[in-house]
């Protein structure tokens, strides 16, 4: 992909991003694992909207609709920011996307325990899905993997921002030297 289409990440923009990231990290630490206050309330809304929406098209897929619903908005945002070359907004969307994985992992890990309070219907998505897939006994392993990917994805997005900033800075130095 053409590198020049990404907006330049200045030191000020990076500082703003770091500040937002710090607030997000603080919120993540203060929240119970897998449920970030505010953000996961929004995710839950998208989740609950996803079930009936997907249910319009397929009864069988309706169970997956919640998870699809909570992932689809960060994906749409990420694609849109990527196309506009808005690097920091893109990274924030990617972080939101992968934060969702922690929330999904929390739900997956509950597939056998059935301890989480459930909104809407009272069906446990992951108990249903894992039973369907015949992997119910692996719920904790699958959740652990999801959680790992979630963290790895968020770290990757932050590293990418740092790397872009560093590159942009060096590129700026080069252009100053040329003139
Ligand atoms: Zn659900």
Poorest-pLDDT segment among 43-47, 124-128, 172-176:
172-176
Name the 3-class secondary structure at 120.
coil
For ligand 1, the distance from its centroid to the CA atom of residue 65, given in whole angstroms, is 7
Name the 3-class secondary structure at 68.
helix
pLDDT of residue 83: 96
For ligand 1, the distance from its centroid to the CA atom of residue 130, given in whole angstroms, is 13
- What's the whole-number average pLDDT of the chain? 92
Name the 3-class secondary structure at 32.
strand
What burial class does residue 65 get, using C-beta atoms within 10 Å of its C-beta: 0-12 exposed, 13-18 middle, 19+ buried?
buried
Using alpha carbons, list the distances in angstroms from residue 134 to 108, 126, 129. Answer: 14, 11, 8
* 18 vs 177: which has the higher pLDDT: 18
What burial class does residue 160 get, using C-beta atoms within 10 Å of its C-beta: 0-12 exposed, 13-18 middle, 19+ buried?
middle
For ligand 1, the distance from its centroid to the CA atom of residue 140, given in whole angstroms, is 18
Token digits of residue 59: 């009864």
For ligand 1, the distance from its centroid to the CA atom of residue 94, given in whole angstroms, is 22
Poorest-pLDDT segment among 7-21, 39-53, 68-82, 163-177:
163-177
User: Quick check: 118 and 66 in contact, CB under 8 A?
Assistant: no
pLDDT in tens, 21-33: 999 999 999 998 8
Neighbour count for residue 33 (Cβ, 10 Å): 13
Using alpha carbons, list the distances in angstroms from residue 153 to 6, 99, 156, 169. Answer: 20, 9, 5, 24
For ligand 1, the distance from its centroid to the CA atom of residue 178, given in whole angstroms, is 57
User: Quick check: 124 and 110 in contact, CB under 8 A?
Assistant: yes
């Amino acid at each position: 992909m053409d590198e020049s289409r990404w907006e330049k990440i200045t030191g000020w923009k990076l500082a703003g991003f770091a500040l937002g990231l710090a607030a997000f990290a603080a919120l993540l630490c203060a929240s119970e694992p897998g449920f970030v206050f505010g953000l996961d309330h929004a995710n839950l809304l998208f989740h609950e909207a996803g079930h009936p929406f997907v249910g319009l098209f397929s009864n069988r897929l309706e169970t997956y609709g919640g998870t699809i619903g909570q992932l689809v908005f960060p994906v749409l945002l990420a694609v849109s920011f990527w196309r506009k070359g808005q690097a920091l907004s893109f990274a924030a969307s990617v972080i939101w996307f992968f934060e969702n994985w922690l929330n999904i992992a929390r739900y997956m890990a509950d597939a056998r325990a059935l301890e989480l309070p459930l909104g809407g219907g009272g069906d446990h998505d992951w108990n249903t899905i894992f039973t369907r897939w015949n992997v119910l006994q692996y719920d904790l392993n699958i959740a652990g993997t999801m959680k790992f990917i979630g963290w790895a994805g968020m770290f990757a997005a932050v590293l990418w921002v740092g790397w872009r900033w560093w590159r942009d800075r060096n590129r700026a130095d080069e252009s100053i030297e040329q003139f």
